[in-house]
Chain A
Amino acid sequence: MRTLHHDLVVDTCLFSPLQLQPRALFAQSWNGLARWFAANVCSFPSLLGDHHFGMVFLGIHLAYHEPVGFFDADVIGQEVTVRLLRQGSRLELVSRYVGRGRECGDGRLAAEVRCTLCPVAITEPRSLAAQPAPFPEDIQRCFAEDERGTSTAPRVVPALLEEISRGVPLGERQTPFTIHRHMAEVADQWSFSEIPCLCEASREHLVLEQVGRAPELGQALALPLRTVDVELARPYYSFDRGVTSTQAASLGGKLAFVHRLGATLPGTPVHGIVVERYG
C-alpha cells in the first residue's frame, strides 16, 4: 500500500490551546487525499473536469492519540493511505498525524482521521451536480492490488447514540447557522471541514450558557476531545440555512455531545450526526 508523506510546519492556527484543531485535521486530510490522487491517479481538477467524477463523505472518525500541543513539535508529519472498496463504489482514506521535533522527538502519533467516501459521477457540468457511481475502470486501474478491498468500516454512530442515550443528560441547545461561501468549495457545496466548526460553536454556546447550572459541562472547554465520529446523509450548499441541535450527556463522568445537523428545506431533515467524546 502506497503511503504519501507530507510535512506540515507547525503554526499557531493548527492548534487550539488544547490540541490539534479538528477543523485543521479534517481539511488537511482532504488535501492529503488530493495529494495522494495527484501522485497516483490524477489531480482533482482532472478528476472533476476530465473524468467527471468527484467524491463525497459518508463517515469520518477522528481519534486523538498521544498529547501533542503547539509547543511539543516543530513539524506534524502527515501519512496518507487510500483504498478502493466495494468494486470502486467506496473509498477509504486514512490520514495519520505524527508530531516530530521538540518534545515529540522522532515521532509521536497525535491523531488519525479515517474517512469513508462515495464516488459521484458529475451529471451536469455547470452546477457540478452529481450522483453516486463507482469509479470507472481507468481510475480503478490506478489502485494497486493491496489498495483494493471489499468491506467498509462499520457504522459506529448508531451504537454511540444508543450508548449516550443511557447517560445522564446535561443540557441541550439549538444553534442556527447559514452556510456562507467561505465555508464552501468550488461547487458551492459545503466543505466537510466545517463540520467540527458548526459543532464546536453549538457546544461552546451550550457550555457557556449552562455551565452555571451543570458545572461538569466546563470540562468541554477545559479538556481535549478524544474522538469525533460523523455520519453524513446530505450536503449543505452555500446560502443554505441550517440548525445544529446539540445534546450533552455524562457517561460515567465523561462528557459526550451529540450534534444533529438539520435543515430548513423539506426532504433533508438531518444532514448529518456528529458525536464528540471526551476523556
Chain B
Amino acid sequence: MRFFLSGNLMRFSNFQREVEVDASTVRAGLDTLVEQYPSLREVLLDNQHQVRGVHKLFLDGEPLDSLQAAVRHDSEVAVVTAIAGG
C-alpha cells in the first residue's frame, strides 16, 4: 500500500510525499509508517495510538471508517490535515 502525506507532514517524513509500505490493514500500514519515520508518530498519533482528530484518512479516495480496513498492495491512503478555513 502507499501513503500520500499532506504537505505539512512531509518535514516529518524526510520530505517524502509518497511512502510505500507492506501491510494488510491501514492500522498495520500506519505502524510501519511511523516506525520508518519516528517523528511522524507524535504528530500523527495521540497517546492512545489513534490518529489525531485534525488528520483525516482516505482509502482509495473514500473517507476511512476504520483503521482495521483491509488494504491491497495497490491501495492508496491519503493523510490530510483537515482544519476548517484557510
Which A residues fall within an 8 A CB radius of B?
56-58, 117-118, 120, 123-124, 126-127, 129-132, 179, 187-190, 192, 195, 232-240, 265-268, 271-272
Minimum CB distance partner of B8 in chain A: A237
List of A residues within 8 angstroms of B42 by Cβ: 124, 126
Q: Knowing A129-B52, A132-B84, A188-B11 touch, does A239 contact B17 (C-beta < 8 A)?
A: yes
**Residue from A118, A234, A266 in contact with B58 in the complex, judged by beta carbons closer than 8 Å:** A266
Asked if B53 is an interface residue, CB under 8 A from chain A, the answer is yes
Give the interface centre of A120, A129, A189, A240 by most chain B CB atoms within 10 Å.
Answer: A129
Minimum CB distance partner of B54 in chain A: A129
Q: Knowing A238-B7, A265-B78 touch, does A56 contact B55 (C-beta < 8 A)?
A: no
Q: Could you jot down 27 A-B contacts, CB within 8 Å?
A: A56-B83, A56-B85, A58-B84, A58-B86, A126-B42, A127-B43, A129-B83, A130-B83, A187-B8, A188-B8, A189-B8, A192-B86, A232-B85, A233-B84, A233-B85, A236-B7, A237-B6, A237-B7, A239-B10, A239-B15, A240-B6, A265-B4, A265-B6, A265-B58, A265-B78, A267-B63, A271-B86
For chain B, the count of residues having a C-beta within 8 Å of the partner chain is 30
List of B residues within 8 angstroms of A232 by Cβ: 85-86
Asked if B56 is an interface residue, CB under 8 A from chain A, the answer is yes
14 extra A-B contacts, CB within 8 A, seeds A56-B86, A58-B86, A237-B9? A56-B85, A123-B54, A124-B43, A127-B9, A127-B12, A130-B54, A233-B86, A234-B83, A265-B4, A265-B6, A266-B80, A268-B80, A268-B82, A271-B86
